A and B are shown apart, each in its own frame.
Chain A
Amino acid sequence: MSFNLKDILTPFTAWSRVVKEPVTIKDPFTREAAPRYRGFHDNDVQLCIGCGSCEAICENQAIDLVPIEGVEGIETKSGDSGLRPSIDYGRCCWCALCVDICTTDSLRLTNAYTWVDTDPDNFIFTPGVTPKDWYEKEEGWRKPGHGYEFYSHERVHMEELHADERKDSFIEFVKGYSAEQAKKEADRCVACGICTATCPAHMGIPEYIKAVRDDDMEHGMKILYETNPLPEICGRICTHKCEDVCSVGFKNGSDPLSIRWLKRYIADQIPADVDKYKDMLGTGEIAKNDKKVAIIGSGPAGLSAAHYLALLGYNCTIFEKLPQAGGMMRYGIPSYRLPYDQIDKDVDYILSLGVDIKYNVNVGTDITLEQLSKDFDAVYAGTGLHLGRSTRIPGSEHENVYQSVDLLRNIVTGAPVPVEKKVVVIGGGNVAMDITRSMARLQMEKFGEVNVIATSLEDEEHMPADREEVVEAREEGCTIIPGYGPQEVVITDGKVTGLRVWKCLSIFDETGAFNPKFDEADERIFEGDMVIESIGQGMDLSYLSEEIKSKIEFGPRGRILVNEDWQAKGLPWLFIGGDIIEGPDVIHGIANGHRGAQSIDKFLNEGR
C-alpha cells in the first residue's frame, strides 16, 4: 500500500473546528421542547366525562380510571362517570393515543419533559388533579386535526319518507337501517357505557351495539330483554336520554350514536313469531308458582312488570280499561311514529309468557281495588296520566277547545275527531308535536292543505320536545312559534276564532317556581277555528276508594308516596309504577315496572 502525503495531512483540517463555538446546550433543563412535543399529561377534569376511552386504547395499560368524588373544586355532571384517568409513568410510553381518542378533547400532553422525584409512587398521578407545574404550559400534543379521527363523528343517516310523501299519511316514515348502515353506525361506539348509566332501565347498550357489529341479532335480543321487554316500541319512540350523554356526541359537530335506531334494528331483524322469540330467549319453559299478581293498566310499566313477574313464575292478570293493550303507547302516540303492528309484536310475546289480560275492565267501577287485593297476592298499579290538563285561560271551557290526549285516543279508537281548517295547539312537548302533526295529516286528508300553529311558553332552545320532532313538524307544513304564553281563547259570535298570546319573557321566578312573565306589548292573535291544549297530563286516581285513600300517603301534587320498594306507604300489597311515579315517558315506566316486579318478588317471598 502506498502512502500519500495528502492522506496524512488532510485529516488535520479537523483542527479548524477548535475555534468554532461549541454546539452543546449548557443547561438542558431550560430547553423548550417543540410545540407538538409529547411530554407530560394534563387533563381538563371539568371537561372530561370519565368515559374511559383513553384507558381502553392505552396499549401499555398505563391508565386507570379513579373516582374523583370529593376532590375539591371538581363537580361531576350528568353523563359523567365520576372517574378520571390516572396514569402510571412506569408504564406509559408517551404515544398519545389516549389524547387522540379522547372523546371530549380534555386530555393532552404538554411539552414538559423533565421530572425528577425521589418517591417512585409519585409517578402514578391523576393529570389535572394531582398538582403539577406543567399544567400552565400551553404547548404540547393535542389531537392533530387535518382529517385525523379515530372514530367517525358523523351519524349514519336514517332514510325517511320525504315530507311530501308522509304529511298526509299515518304510515311509519322512518325506514330503519339496512344491515350495512347499522354496522357502520355501530362501529362508532367506543363502548364507554356512559349511556348505560344514564338510561333509566340501564340497558346494556354497548353490548347490544357490539352485537350489531358482530351481526349476532339473537345475542342482541337477549341483551335487550334483560332490561327492556318492549324493544320494538322503545326502538322507535324512546326519548333516548342515552343519546343526550353519548360520549361520541359530546363535542360540537360530533353526532351521538343512534342508539335508539340500533335497538330498533336488532328487534326488526327478528320476525314476529312468539315461538321463535321463546326459543331465542330461552323462555319456553317457565316453572310457575302459585302466587297471583294483579296489574292495573297495560302501559309500559304494567307490561314490563308483567313480563318480569311472568319470568319469575308468577300468575299475572292485567286489567285494561281500553279495548287493546299498550296504554299511552297505543292511544297517545300516532302510528306514523309507532305502528300498531310493532306494539303488537312486543305485547304478543309478553302475553305468550302466560300473562292473562282482561280488556275493557275499569278497576274502581267494574271491579274494586279491594276485591283485587282479596283475589290476588299483590297488586301493581301503573295507571298512567290520561287526563288532559287545561290552561284555564278565559274561553278554554268552549266546546271547540280540546285536550290533545282525548283527540289522540280518538284517532286510535276510531271515534270521531273534529278537524277544522285552522288549528292552534298550545304546548311545546312531544305530545303537542304529536297532535300538531296528526292534525296536519287529518287536514291534508280533509282539505288538502295544512294550517296548524303550535305555540309554547318556552323559546325555541328550551322547547321540551325532541328537536327532530320540531324539525319534522315544520317540514310537514306546521307552523311552530315558540316563546308565547296563551292569554285567551278568542271567541267571536260564539265561535272560536283564535288564540291571543303574549311574548313570554321568563317562565320561572328567582325561587324557581312556575311564574311566567310576559311582555304585554308583544301581543299576537293566532287564528284558529279550534284550539287544542297540550300542556301536560294528570292522573286519574278515581279507582282508589276513600278507605284506601285514607290508608296511604300522598305527596305534593297528589302523587302517591312509595317506599324504595315501590310499595304504597301504608298498603304493603299495593305497588305503584309508571308515569304516576316517574316520567312521563316510556323508558322510565319500563324501568320501574322491572324494579316493581323485583320488589313484588321480594315481598311475596318474605318469610319463605
Chain B
Amino acid sequence: MINKFLGFKPDEKLLPSQTVTEDTEIDLSSHKYQKIWLGPNHPGVTGNMAIELTVQGTTVMRAKTHVGYLHRGFEKLIERRLFVQGFPTSIRMCVAEPDTNEYFIARSTEELSGYADAVPEYANWLRMLSLEMARLAGLLRGVPGQGGTFALGIGVQWGVYLRDLILDRFEELSGARVYHMYIIPGGVRGALPDGFKERMEDNLRDIDDFIIRIKKLMFHNSVFKQRAKGLAVITPEMVDKYGIVGTNARCCGVKRDVRKDNPYLYYDKLDFDPPTATDGDVYSRTWIRWQELIQTVDLIRQIMAKMPKKGDIRCKMPNVLNWKIPKGETYVRLESGRGEMGMYYVTDGSDKPRRINLRGPSYNHAISVLEHMLIGQDVADVHAIMVSLQTCPPEIER
C-alpha cells in the first residue's frame, strides 16, 4: 500500500516467483542469486557472528549463521582454574548481562560442596538485586535498540544514558561498570553502600519517565508499527520444536519464566507477573520487553524495600586456594533477559571443575530459529529480526 501511495512499481520479474520456504530449490549457477555476508564486522550484527545470506533481489532465500570469531574456549579456561577463579572468566560469556554467569558458577559450586544453604540471606538478596539491575541495563539498551534497527536512533541514545546510570550503581556496588565480578562462591563481594537506595531511586524515576517517552516514540509510531507488526512471527507450535524461551516464547502467549516456574533466590517473595502477548511478531516481542522494563523497575524497588538492612555477605567456606569439591554434577538455571539459561557443572573431587557447559538461549535463537525465520524476509529486516531474538554470540561459542 505504501508503494501505491508513493507511486513505486517494483519490477516483478526480479522478485522470487514463488513463496519462499526452506525447501525452495536454489540453483546458484543460474545467476539469479547472490550471496551476502552480514557480519562478522557489521554495525547491525549483534556481536561477533555472521549470517551468510543467499538472496534473490532483496528476498532472503537461505540464511546460515556462522560463529567462531570470538572463540576463546571460555569453558575450558574455567575448567583449568580453581573454583574461585572461575567467575572472572565466566562473565566473558555474556557482555550484556554478565551477572547471570557469576551466579551460575557460585551456585553450582555451592550446591556441589554443600554450602548452598549457608549463603547469608543478605547476600542472596544482593545477588537478586544485581541480577535485576543487569536485566534492567540490558532492557534499557534492548528496547530502544529495536527501534534503532529501523533507523530510530534517538531512543537508543536515551536508553544508553540511563543504562550508564545503572552502571554507575553497579560501579559503587561491585567496583566495576560492565564486568562486575560481584557474585562469588559463598556470597557477594560488597555490602550495599550508604545512600545507594536513594541514588537508585533517583535513577528509577528517570527511567519511569523514559518508559513513557519511549512508548510514545516507538509504540505510537506508524513507521515502527508498519515494519514490526507481522514481522517474523513465532507461533506457539514453534516454541517447543525450537526450544524457544523467555520473551521470545512469551510473545506468542507461551508463558515461561524460570523465576515463576522454578523460583530461585527469593523470587517467590516478590510480586510480579511476566507479561505476555499473542501475536508473536517483532512488535509483540518489543512490546512485552517494554512491559518487562516497567516490571524490572518495580522488582528493583521491591527488592530494595524487602531486603535486610545488613548482614554477612559471604559464608565461611574452605580456603579458596585449597578448595576441593566432591564428585558430583548439577544443572543450575535462571531467567536471564534473553530467557532461560543454565549451566551444567561437573566436579570430580579435585580442586577444579571437571566440565562446565553454559546453555544460553542464543544457541537456539541465533542458529535454528534465526536461520528458519529469515527465509523469505526482506534483507532490510534481517537486522531487526536478529535483534528481536536477542541473539548473543558468546553464549554460542563458549
Contact = CB atoms under 8 A, between A and B. Distances in A.
Contact of A13 (B181, B216, B223, B314): B216
Given A1-B226, A11-B217, A144-B189, A36 B175 contact: yes
Contact of B216 (A10, A33, A188): A10
B316 A93 contact: no
Contact of A7 (B1, B172, B220, B316): B220
Interface residues of A, number: 46
A11 B187 contact: no
Contact of B313 (A7, A93, A109, A148): A148
Contacts of B221: 7, 10-11
B176 interface: yes
B176 A37 contact: yes
Given A10-B216, A36-B172, A152 B187 contact: no
Contact of B187 (A53, A148, A190, A191): A148
B10 interface: no
A190 B319 contact: yes
Interface string A93-118: 11111001100000001000000000
A95 B322 contact: no
Contact of A141 (B158, B175, B226, B319): B175
A215 to B, nearest CB: 12
A151 interface: yes
B88 interface: yes
Contact-residue bracket for chain B: 35 or more
A34 B172 contact: yes
A93 B220 contact: no
Contact of B222 (A4, A149, A150, A191): A4
Q: Among A53, A56, A95, which residue has the most Cβ atoms of chain B within 10 A? A: A95
Nearest to B120: A147
B222 A3 contact: yes
Q: Among B158, B190, B321, which residue has the most Cβ atoms of chain A within 10 A? A: B321
B226 A57 contact: no
B154 interface: yes
Interface string B217-241: 1101111011001000000000000
A513 interface: no
Contacts of B85: 57, 59, 97
A190 B323 CA distance: 11
A13 B193 contact: no
A521 interface: no
Given A97-B84, A150-B84, 9 more contacts: A7-B221, A10-B220, A13-B213, A59-B82, A59-B86, A144-B191, A148-B314, A150-B321, A187-B318
A53 to B, nearest CB: 7
A32 to B, nearest CB: 11
B222 A93 contact: no
Q: 9 smallest A-B Cβ distances: which pairs?
A: A147-B312, A59-B85, A151-B319, A10-B220, A7-B222, A34-B172, A95-B88, A38-B175, A34-B171
A13 B212 CA distance: 11
B161 A23 contact: yes
Nearest to B191: A146
Contacts of B213: 13-14
Contacts of A26: none
A57 B84 contact: yes
Contacts of A11: 152, 216-218, 220-221, 223
A146 B312 contact: yes
Contact of A94 (B81, B82, B176, B322): B176
Given A10-B220, A14-B154, A93-B88, A101 B320 contact: yes
Nearest to B171: A34
Contacts of A8: 222
Interface string B73-98: 00000000110111011000000000
B315 interface: yes
Interface in A18-65: 23, 33-38, 53, 56-57, 59
Interface string B281-297: 00000000000000000
A101 B88 contact: no
A34 B189 contact: no
A34 B190 CA distance: 13
Given A57-B320, A95-B181, A148 B189 contact: yes
B104 interface: no
Nearest to A248: B319
A6 interface: yes
Nearest to A7: B222
A111 B206 CA distance: 27
A213 interface: yes
Nearest to A16: B213
A146 B313 contact: yes
B199 to A, nearest CB: 11
